[in-house]
Structure 1
């Protein structure tokens, strides 16, 4: 029974976050959406885990 309440609470938090991030009636959103971290281009990664000097 506890997992049911935990899932319901998680869903309510997700819905509240979504509602804060959208603009309603032409207004600005209350909160800005989170920004994803910039990643390195795929060509800079090596199988050893470090960059080699050309």
Structure 2
């Protein structure tokens, strides 16, 4: 869980940095599955961001 004081810093990261971290930490298969979902054009789950 992201601490409230770190939330804005996290959201400032570029997407390529976040995607690189996903590949490094969780593997190429997960990253490829995520990319396929993002590029498919289908509706993705809605995220309810915390309100700090």
* Length-normalised TM-score, structure 2: 0.34
- Give the greater-gyration-radius structure (CA): 1
More helix by share: 2
Report the TM-score when normalising by structure 1. Answer: 0.33
